[in-house]
Amino acid sequence: MSYNLLKGKKGIIFGALNSDSIAWKVAERAVEEGAVITLSNTALAIRMGDVDKLAERFNTEAIPADATNVEELEHVFKRSMEIFGGKVDFVLHSIGMSPNVRKGKHYSELDYVMFDKTLDISALSFHKMLHVARKLDAINEWGSVVALSYIAAQRTLHGYNDMADAKALLESIARSFGYIYGRERRVRINTISQSPTLTKAGSGIKGMDKLLDFSERMSPLGNADALECANYCVTLFSDLTSKVTMQNLFHDGGFSSMAMSSRALEQYEKGLGCDCNCGPSESEEEKHKYD
């Protein structure tokens, strides 16, 4: 259902790869709500993924950029403003990648070149995006910028590895830049801390199936899916949330406020009764399987 919440607004969506991507759903919902958009992703992702098809559907462009490259980000903002014939009203940063996770590195044995890359792609790219937008004065007053985060920024979650550090930095950048951009040009900046969601990036997390099941059982409203996340993004891009800034907003069915639920406890009790290797006798290898 459309509420015309973004009628007349123009936005850039970074990070749509395929129809599972959270950014893909945000693009669809933003257009349904009346926005005009451009898309951006790496040249490789545009070649390998389906983002060109999405651009075609919305009669727009998928503008290639490595989000760690300031010049390429400048091109995205300049080209988007050309297409829009004016400034931008909203931006979605939906970008994350950890080479350490991909290579199965243990958190205590990180490869530091890869760690730098994780932070650059998943967090510094947000700073670079905001820096470029401010320098070009590319965002209209009361514009809204949203990046996607995860609760591993605050709590330790088995297997999330160096992405936890990247998300903590991402959320901090939203606050630090939110102060500057808000004071100067009334641009608001927030992060949404989303439930685990089955996407290409999500499937990189070790033990994702168990994580999804656990958070589903722990959350009174259940996990939030990608479409529900897109709906939340739309509200933050809209004028209805014009005084919300510098926040990390949990969109997780209540998970972040829980410590134990009856549904999780029930499952745990079943586990205690079993005669597999999951109890205190598990081997060292078994214990670290998902680190």
Ligand X SMILES: NC(=O)c1ccc[n+]([C@@H]2O[C@H](COP(=O)([O-])OP(=O)(O)OC[C@H]3O[C@@H](n4cnc5c(N)ncnc54)[C@H](O)[C@@H]3O)[C@@H](O)[C@H]2O)c1
Give yes or no for a contact between 174 and 191, defined as CB atoms under 8 angstroms apart. Answer: yes
Question: Which C-beta is closer to ligand X: that of 94 or that of 247?
Answer: 94
Task: Give the per-residue contact string, 155-194, with ligand X (x = CB under 6 A; - = no).
Answer: ---------------------------------------x
Q: How far is CA 265 from the centre of its chain?
A: 29
Give yes or no for a contact between 19 and 226, defined as CB atoms under 8 angstroms apart. Answer: no
Question: Which C-beta is closer to ligand X: that of 67 or that of 264?
Answer: 67
Give yes or no for a contact between 164 and 171, defined as CB atoms under 8 angstroms apart. Answer: no
First-to-last C-alpha distance (Å) of the chain: 42
Among 66, 74, 89, 162, binds ligand X (CB under 6 A): 66
Report the helix count and the strand count for the chain, using DSSP H and E: 12, 7
Among 11, 96, 143, 159, binds ligand X (CB under 6 A): 96
Q: Could you say which residues in the range 200-259 bind ligand X, by CB under 6 A?
A: 200-202
Question: Which C-beta is closer to ligand X: that of 80 or that of 94?
Answer: 94
Give yes or no for a contact between 14 and 37, defined as CB atoms under 8 angstroms apart. Answer: no
Strand partners, 139: 88
21 binds ligand X per the rule CB under 6 A: yes
Q: Could you say which residues in the range 34-63 bind ligand X, by CB under 6 A?
A: 41-42, 45
CA dihedral 71, 77, 79, 81 (to 10 degrees): -150
Give yes or no for a contact between 33 and 2, defined as CB atoms under 8 angstroms apart. Answer: yes
Output the CA angle 66-235-168, nearest 5 degrees. Answer: 50
As a whole number of angstroms, the distance between CA 75 and CA 81 comes to 10
Among 97, 119, 133, 224, binds ligand X (CB under 6 A): 97
> How many residues interact with ligand X (rule CB under 6 A)?
26
User: Does residue 214 sit in helix, strand or coil?
Assistant: helix
| Minimal distance, residue 85 CB to ligand X, in Å | 25
Task: Give the per-residue contact string, 131-150, with ligand X (x = CB under 6 A; - = no).
Answer: -----------------xxx
| Minimal distance, residue 107 CB to ligand X, in Å | 17
Question: Which C-beta is closer to ligand X: that of 41 or that of 248?
Answer: 41
As a whole number of angstroms, the distance between CA 51 and CA 62 comes to 7
User: Does residue 94 sit in helix, strand or coil?
Assistant: coil
| Minimal distance, residue 276 CB to ligand X, in Å | 27
Question: Which C-beta is closer to ligand X: that of 55 or that of 97?
Answer: 97
| Minimal distance, residue 169 CB to ligand X, in Å | 12
Structure tokens at 140: 């209209």
Question: Which C-beta is closer to ligand X: that of 96 or that of 143?
Answer: 96
| Minimal distance, residue 72 CB to ligand X, in Å | 9
Among 143, 159, 196, 253, binds ligand X (CB under 6 A): 196
**What is the contact surface with ligand X in residues (CB under 6 A)?**
15, 17, 21-23, 41-42, 45, 66-68, 94-97, 121, 148-150, 194, 196-197, 199-202
